[in-house]
Structure 1
Amino acid sequence: MLKLSQPNISEAAIAAVADVLRSGQLVHGQECEAFERELATYLGCSDVILVSSGTAALHVALQALDIGLGDAVIVPDFTFPATANVVALTGARPVIVDVVPGTYTLDTVQLEQVIQSWDGVERLRAVLPVHEFGCIADMREINRIAKSYGLAVVEDAACALGARQDQRKAGTLSDVGCFSFHPRKTLTTGEGGALATNDAALAARMRRLRNHGMERTISGMQFFEPATNYRMTNFQAALGRAQLPLLDEWICQRTILASIYKELLSPLEKAGVLALPRLVTGHSWQTFMVVLDASINRDEVIGELRARGVETNLGAQSLSCIGIYGEPQVRSVFGPALYKYGLALPLFERMTMDDVSLVAEAVSQVLLGESA
């Protein structure tokens, strides 16, 4: 079975984890601090704060911006529910805005329309764009709009470590960026996440919020505010450190594979049975998702591809379709369509060109009704 994704864990990475386990220093320690410095250098920002998951990163970011009851945060319709869940967990209201086809990222035209027509009882406080599958949202326009209306911007860059826009890295294009190191991500620590910022005061508060609201002072540990434990372990950081020097090489290989997918599947796009993602400069290609024609049953396609030895799945969820975040202010069109017809294909840097050809051939056979 050709898997949808596979973590790239070398023997050297395993050995680095084993060294930490043998040391007995398992909680946040020197490996975490080194990983934070190395990530900050890689991203080109002043501060990185490691946490226990991408969801934790998003939650800490909103808490650090004092977003809570009586506030509202704009989120894209097509994303993993964690993006909206963290807004709800602060007591704020998630406000759903549609995405655009091709990049699957926040629709900036609808974003400004929603802000201009906002009549909710809550106060709009922030925009939380998602760099879906490693494609950076239109941050120039999002930042322009947010600045015009006095809104903070938090990047959900869970899938986008290493992605670039305007020669800057994802997660450094706003007030704060949030990353995930889940096994589906290109760089993984199992579970784990990080925040990136150039705001020293914000960084200091986020460090407290990941660690029970406490801070070491000259007089000992002091507790400044209620918070939880979102620390990353030392052995997770060792795993991440071992992969970071290889990340750009892996992204380069994924970009090549995505281009091959685009070429091999273009006849199916011309035939009208699927739509392909845009090949955007700086995309980090955590996932390659096509969108099936509405006449095609995705579940049947997934089953038939599995029978041919190819694992596939949906891409992400539509927040408006889930139905637990209240009524959208503006009806979404593309988010629900991507949720219903999006099909994620296998993509990881150790795939070969033959693997991509195998997947493309299987997809063609299934969608065009050809025999294997």
Structure 2
Amino acid sequence: MIKLSQPIISEEEIQAVSDVLRTGMLVQGQYVADFEQALKKYMGAQNVLAVSSGTSALHLALAALEIGEGDAVFVPGFTYPATVNVLEIQKAKPILIDVDASTYNIDPDKLEETIINYSGKETPKAIMVVHEFGAPAEMTRILDIAKRYNLFVVEDAACALGTTINGQHVGTFGDIGCFSWHPRKAITTGEGGAVVTQNEKLNKRISLLRNHGLERLEDGSMDFVLPGFNYRLTEFQAVLGIHQLKKFNKWIQKRNELVEYYYKFLRECPHIQLPKKIEGHAWQTFMVVLEDIIDRGNVIHSLKLEGIETNLGAQAIGELTYYRKKYDFENLSQHTASNLYKQGLALPLSPLLDKDDIRFITTKLMNILKANE
């Protein structure tokens, strides 16, 4: 079976994890600090804090910015539910913005239009930007909009390690950036994530919130200065992340090569739309969009019979049971997000694949699409 995505964990990494386990020092020690330093260097970030998941990173971002009940946050309508789930945890209201059909990222024009026409009782506080599948969002425009309307910017960069805009790493543009090291991401620590900020005060608050609000005093004693969480990363996860990051540039290069083969082999294929090429894209996922006449479920099933694993890309939040029932999203323009949710098809992408694999995948896909005409 050609897997949709597959973590790459070497014997050397397994041995390193085993060595850490034998030490008995398992939580937020020197390896976590070393991983944070490696990420700071890689991203060119001022501050990086390793945490237990990408979702905990998002939650910490909102808590650090004191976004909560009575606040509204503008979010893309096409994303993984974690982006909006943390708003629910904080009792803030999500305001969905439709996305661009070719990049799958939040549409700046629709974002500003929604802000201008907003009449809800909750106070707008922030924009959550998702760099969907590693595609860089239009940060220059988004930051300009945020400045004009006095809004925080939180970057959900869960899929975007290695993504850059004019040489600057995403996650370092807004007030806070959030990353994930889930097994489907480009590097993995099993679960895990990171919070990035250029603001020292925010970094201090996030550091406290990450670890129960604990502050160590000069005399060696401890105080608890605010109600925090337990969002620490383990030492054995961190040592895995350190090893993975060393190989990451080669993996990104391989992903870009495979994506070029996808474009080459699918360029003339009817019934699908290819994603837009954007400079600085890290290509965590390669998702095409099938025409409405194509039954995506049948395509996924048929490809599985051929030994190829595929799936949907992300969710349209307004289509999900919980959010559809709780909020009135019907008056918002969610056409693109809904279409991507219903017709998006994520194809296998991993540095373990090669040109022949992509040729096999695309040939089978084109044959299946032809049979579905």
Category of TM-score, reference length = shorter chain: over 0.9
What amino acid maps onto 1:365 in structure 2? Answer: N
Residue equivalent to 1:318: 316
Distance (Å, rounded) in 2 between the aligned partners of 1:281 and 1:170: 13
Residue equivalent to 2:260: 259
1:276-287 superposed matches below 5 A: 276-287=274-285
Distance (Å, rounded) in 1 between the aligned partners of 2:166 and 2:127: 20
Shifted more, 8-17 versus 96-105: the winner is: 8-17
What amino acid maps onto 1:96 in structure 2? Answer: L
SS at match of 1:258: helix
Residue equivalent to 2:147: 147
Q: Does 1:348 align with 2:350?
A: yes
Partners of 1:3 and 1:310 within 8 A in 2: yes
* Uncovered stretches (5+) of structure 2, i.e. residues with no partner: none
Residue equivalent to 1:275: 273
Q: Does 1:335 align with 2:337?
A: yes
Query: How many matched pairs?
Result: 367
Distance (Å, rounded) in 2 between the aligned partners of 1:295 and 1:322: 23
Distance (Å, rounded) in 2 between the aligned partners of 1:350 and 1:102: 27
Distance (Å, rounded) in 1 between the aligned partners of 2:215 and 2:292: 54
What amino acid maps onto 1:353 in structure 2? Answer: K
Q: Deviations over 1:72-111 (max 9, x none)?
A: 1111011000000001110100110000011100010000
SS at match of 1:128: strand
Residue equivalent to 2:307: 309
Shifted more, 310-319 versus 211-220: the winner is: 211-220
Tell me the CA shift for residue 323 of structure 1. 4.4
Partners of 1:60 and 1:209 within 8 A in 2: yes
What amino acid maps onto 1:63 in structure 2? Answer: A
What amino acid maps onto 1:313 in structure 2? Answer: N
SS at match of 1:263: helix
Residue equivalent to 2:104: 104
Shifted more, 242-251 versus 121-130: the winner is: 242-251
Distance (Å, rounded) in 2 between the aligned partners of 1:74 and 1:217: 39
Tell me the CA shift for residue 330 of structure 1. 2.2
Partners of 1:259 and 1:279 within 8 A in 2: no
Distance (Å, rounded) in 2 between the aligned partners of 1:322 and 1:192: 25
After TM superposition, where is structure 1 displaced by more than 2 Å over at least 4 residues in a row? none
**TM-score, normalised via structure 1 length:** 0.97
Residue equivalent to 1:288: 286
Distance (Å, rounded) in 1 between the aligned partners of 2:129 and 2:78: 10
Q: Deviations over 1:106-151 (max 9, x none)?
A: 0100000111011000000000010000001100100000000000
Q: Does 1:42 align with 2:42?
A: yes
What amino acid maps onto 1:249 in structure 2? Answer: K
Tell me the CA shift for residue 266 of structure 1. 1.1
What amino acid maps onto 2:312 in structure 1? Answer: L
**Aligned Cα RMSD in Å?**
1.0
Distance (Å, rounded) in 2 between the aligned partners of 1:344 and 1:335: 15
Q: Does 1:222 align with 2:223?
A: yes
Tell me the CA shift for residue 221 of structure 1. 1.2
1:186-265 superposed matches below 5 A: 186-219=186-219, 220-265=221-266
**TM-score, normalised via structure 2 length:** 0.97
SS at match of 1:129: strand
Tell me the CA shift for residue 324 of structure 1. 2.9
Q: Deviations over 1:153-186 (max 9, x none)?
A: 0000000001111210111111110000000001
Distance (Å, rounded) in 1 between the aligned partners of 2:174 and 2:246: 25
Tell me the CA shift for residue 331 of structure 1. 1.8
Q: Does 1:364 align with 2:362?
A: no
Tell me the CA shift for residue 252 of structure 1. 1.1
Distance (Å, rounded) in 2 between the aligned partners of 1:324 and 1:167: 39
Tell me the CA shift for residue 16 of structure 1. 1.2
SS at match of 2:288: strand
Distance (Å, rounded) in 1 between the aligned partners of 2:299 and 2:203: 46
What amino acid maps onto 2:229 in structure 1? Answer: T
1:108-123 superposed matches below 5 A: 108-123=108-123
Distance (Å, rounded) in 2 between the aligned partners of 1:296 and 1:222: 60
What amino acid maps onto 2:252 in structure 1? Answer: I
Shifted more, 174-183 versus 328-337: the winner is: 328-337
SS at match of 2:62: helix
Distance (Å, rounded) in 2 between the aligned partners of 1:337 and 1:58: 26
Shifted more, 316-325 versus 21-30: the winner is: 316-325
SS at match of 1:267: coil
Distance (Å, rounded) in 1 between the aligned partners of 2:78 and 2:341: 7
Distance (Å, rounded) in 2 between the aligned partners of 1:214 and 1:67: 21
Distance (Å, rounded) in 2 between the aligned partners of 1:281 and 1:245: 22
Partners of 1:274 and 1:290 within 8 A in 2: yes
